[in-house]
Amino acid sequence: MANVGFIGLGIMGGPIAKRLLDAGNTLVGFNRTRAKADTLIAAGMNWADTPRLVAQFAEITFSMISDAHALGAIARGQDGVLAGLAPGKIYVDMSTVSPTIIRELAPEVRSRGADMLDAPVSGGPPAIAAGTLSFMVGGSAETLKRVEPLFLQIGNKITHMGDNGTAALMKIAINLSLPIQLLAAYEGILLAEKGGIPRERALEAMLNSVAASFAMKYRAPFAFNPPAEVWFNVKMMQKDIQAALELGHASGVPLLTAALSGEMLSAAKALGYAEADFAILYDVLSRLVEK
């Protein structure tokens, strides 16, 4: 068991923090909106008023933040994570962000005598509940060994990608395929529907076909039966696609289908769907057909 800190208690971070708490760790947490932490506080989590206080208390501090700007905000400054680090401590960021911000922060962490891992996850809330999240990890193999027992309290698969930033890069490389897969499936379902096949039957056939991926199986139905709480909205998906396109441009990799999915996500935002689950892309396609 360990003294653990967690910053960012949203739809993913909150349940992950709860697993760490349930495993018997002493947990201190911070979230920009304290009300989101109420359930965890009632379950035994200690509250800290700043990220700095979290890092001062914890041996290992985790964060899961929405974007690079927010990550910089909680990491730097007099009340940031960096200000609370000391020799021997570890900072693990689980956010889906560009590797650039990770490669900037890692040496700043090491200058404090601490070390940093980037450890984004694959799998949504159901995977957290089942303990089947998979981790991609960038950073020192020795530091990973120290954190591995905590990772295995949350998920069941850890892949060490390499140096700091490589895991963040891999997560972007994975996420860029999600809207592409959904758009391809939705085009097929819409084509079937326009040809007279009931939508529900077309969806069933698609999800039982060789074309169905794991991601498609749990997310494609959201187009017709949205989740009560949005897991991954259009705005966040577009953020990941933009990061992928920037990395592709820098690397000389032509991400043609990612660019097209980015245009469709822009169309979704223009239609007022920025906060909707990105499965709303089916509605966007349908509206294009209507025109």
**Which of the four pLDDT bands, split at 50, 70 and 90, describes residue 151?**
very high
- Whether the CB-CB separation of 206 and 186 falls below 8 Å is answered with no
Average pLDDT for residues 136-163, to the nearest whole number? Answer: 97
pLDDT of 123 reads 87
CA dihedral 77, 81, 83, 89 (to 10 degrees): -160
Distance CA 37, CA 40 (A): 5
Query: Which residues in 194-209 are b (16+ Cβ under 10 Å) and which e?
Result: eeeeeeeebbeebbee
Q: Could you give the residue numbers annotated as active site? A: 171
User: What pLDDT is stored for residue 227 in this prediction?
Assistant: 82
In this predicted structure, what is the pLDDT of residue 266?
96
Reference 102, options 169, 173, 164, 175; nearest CA is: 164
pLDDT of amino acid 291: 57
CA dihedral (63, 75, 49, 144) positive or negative: positive
Domains of the chain: 3-162 (3.40.50.720), 176-290 (1.10.1040.10)
DSSP H/E element including 273: none
Q: Coil, helix or strand for 266? A: helix
Q: Across residues 117-124, what is the average pLDDT?
A: 94
> 97-111 pLDDT, tens per residue?
999 999 999 999 999
What is the DSSP secondary structure assignment for residue 233, as one 8-state letter?
B
DSSP 45: P
Give, in order, the Cα–Cα distances in Å from 187 to each of 181, 219, 278, 288: 10, 15, 15, 11
**β-strand partners of 60:** 4, 90
Q: Over the chain, what is the mean pLDDT?
A: 94
* Secondary structure E strands in 83-195: 90-93, 115-118, 121-122, 133-138, 155-162
Helix/strand/coil (H, E, C) string of 46-109? Answer: EECCCHHHHHHHCCEEEECCCCHHHHHHHHCCCCCHHHHCCCCCEEEECCCCCHHHHHHHHHHH
Confidence of residue 215 (pLDDT cuts 50, 70, 90): confident
